[in-house]
Amino acid sequence: MANKITFLGAGSSVFAKNVLGDVMLTPALQEFELALFDIDPVRLKDSENMLNNLKASVGSRCSVKAYSDRKEALRSAKYVVNAIQVGGYDPCTITDFEIPKKYGLRQTIADTLGIGGIFRNLRTIPVMLDFAKDIQEVCPDAWFLNYTNPMAVLTNAMITYGGVKTVGLCHSVQVCMPHLFRQLGIDTEGVQTKIAGINHMAWLLEVTKDGVDLYPEIKRRAKEAQKEIHKDMVRFELMFRFGYYVTESSEHNAEYHPYFIKKNYPELIERFNIPLDEYPRRCIRQIEKWKTMREELVNNKNLEHTRSREYASYMFEAMETNVPFKIGGNVMNTGLITNLPKEAVVEVPCIVDSSGVTPTYVGDLPPQLAALNRTNINTQLLTLEAAITGKKEHIYHAALLDPHTAAELSIDDIVALCDELIEAHGDWLPKFN
């Protein structure tokens, strides 16, 4: 292995700046090559220019190299960062939203679970398994850091069927408690937390300060906050009903459960402040923003960077220096959460050092939380089954078991919707039988 960090999907310039800019600011990583790969040569060149400008302005000794050949980008890499999106906004995200709407099925983000999440998985898994083949051939001992959604299923595919040392990383664990406390006006200083579950539906199991449980105060303030419309209505409602605060945002969680987006109860959308079609709006804003941001980022000789909260550079540093660092990581459930399936990927505290990523034991989740997680795991595992076997029936099974979809549509409509989406995706999907 060489001192090489390969970034797949390097055309995501803002994210590449965060992760690789962090690397440039980390003393233990100064001798690394930052290898960039993207299927869009224009975006790849943009990121290469941006990172070379940043390297000069921060005085880093890292080298930056763009590759047109993926296998060469990966060759001898020690670490691989994955940030790809297969199909993009146009045509695939548009398809994921517009066709379900014809059936009366509305979504908010559609990148994790539900109809949108299922089809995003189905078009991404084959690409990821192609990465795995290359990795097995040219850098079999590399650690693969997956930032791409749908996190749980893609991470599972890389470990179970790709045979690659993979950990899935998501921002939601890092920002969960700070976001909640900022919203409720509580000081975060000295607060200890324990978070575990599945990606986008992990739970703030413990939150203490000096040994005192802060949940009673959190719930008291949340009750007050819930009297006015705000952006966290869904998460607070889930906390009141199930006892614990969930890591991912309200717009996400609105579509992971059968309770919030219901055509027979349209008043719920306003009551819980649910932003339907939120992800397409974000995509359009980002596309517009990039037109003006591109010049500021790509050709800015005085580009600056402050080390971000992204886990990647801290993990590389921990592995290189053997100074442990704690993360919330997505890993296979090797007996870590004892009342969730062993076939699932779970999100648990992990320790990173020179021996790699070591997940910690959690034990049983409170039964109601494990039950909610299992409703999402069912769809995740059947989506993976569909991708690996190529059997269309498992796509139907995944959709039929999705909580939001099943609460809104009949069996016949769910099957018809899947068929229409398969046809609309065309060559973005492999052939199913």
168/170 Cα distance (integer angstroms): 7
348/330 Cα distance (integer angstroms): 7
* Residue ranges of the binding site for Mn(2+): 170, 200
Determine contact, residues 429/122, Cβ cutoff 8 Å. Answer: yes
22/18 Cα distance (integer angstroms): 6
Half-sphere exposure of 321 (CA within 13 A, CB side): 14
398/377 Cα distance (integer angstroms): 10
166/158 Cα distance (integer angstroms): 7
For CA atoms 146, 299, 70, 94, the dihedral sign is positive
Residues in the chain: 433
Provide the annotated active-site residues. Answer: 171
CA angle, corner 84, sides to 83 and 86, nearest 5? 155
Q: The tokens of 200 are what? A: 């986008």
Task: Tally Cβ neighbours within 10 Å of residue 383.
Answer: 30
Amino acid code (one letter) for 151: M
Rg (alpha carbons) of the chain, rounded to whole number = 21
* Residue ranges of the binding site: 149, 170, 200
* Residue ranges of the binding site for substrate: 149
Backbone angles phi, psi at 114, to 5 degrees: 70, -175
Torsion of CA 394, 395, 400, 402, to 10 degrees: 110
Amino acid code (one letter) for 37: F
Task: Tally Cβ neighbours within 10 Å of residue 427.
Answer: 7
Helices (H) and strands (E) in the chain, counts: 17, 12
Determine contact, residues 246/239, Cβ cutoff 8 Å. Answer: yes
Q: The tokens of 247 are what? A: 């890591």
